[in-house]
Amino acid sequence: MDIDIMEYVNEAEIKDAILSGLSGYARENAERIITNAGYSLATDIANAKLDDDAGQKIYDKAVSLLDDLSTFTMFDLGGYGRPPSEARQILNSAVRKEADALSAAIRSAIHNLTKREIVDIVKSGAVKVVIE
């Protein structure tokens, strides 16, 4: 037995029912729909811009971005509620871990400097002399 739905509703009622259902679904899932559309659009744009050299171009761009970072940016101390950058935390950890070796290397380097070289370094402002 076949039932012909068109005997009970007309085409306009079917369209209204579908649009009403879609509208409710869209309201409940708006963020997910917009996010998926954004990802889809971004992927389409990226695919249109990429060619056979895409991997090398992405690598080159990443390297140039890293080259443009200053030591201040890369080794950000943090502040105003921000933690230090990951690079700063790794650097601090490495310095603490190797404090004795660094101290010995610095003392050795100082002992190998002439008095004139030490005076020039201090005058240049490259180091501060702290007397405790």
How do the domains of the chain map onto residue ranges? 9-53
Residue 106 pLDDT > 80, yes or no? Answer: yes
CB count within 10 Å of CB 17 equals 11
Measure the CA–CA gap between 41 and 71, rounded to whole angstroms: 36
Query: What span, in angstroms and rounded, lies between the C-alpha atoms of 28 and 38?
Result: 18
Gyration radius of the chain over CA positions: 33
Contact 127, 121 (CB under 8 A): yes
Residues 61-83, mean pLDDT to the nearest whole number:
83
Mean pLDDT of 90-111: 89
Beta carbons of 91 and 75 less than 8 angstroms apart:
yes
For residue 27, pLDDT beyond 90: no
Q: Considering the entire predicted model, what is its pTM?
A: 0.35
- CA 92 – CA 88 distance, rounded (Å): 6
CB 76 within 8 A of CB 88: yes
Higher pLDDT, 104 or 22: 104
Cβ(85)–Cβ(75) below 8 Å: yes
The C-alpha atoms of residue 64 and residue 58 are separated, in whole angstroms, by: 10
Residue 97 reports pLDDT greater than 90 = yes
Across residues 33-60, what is the average pLDDT? Answer: 86
Between residues 26 and 108, the one the model is more confident about: 108
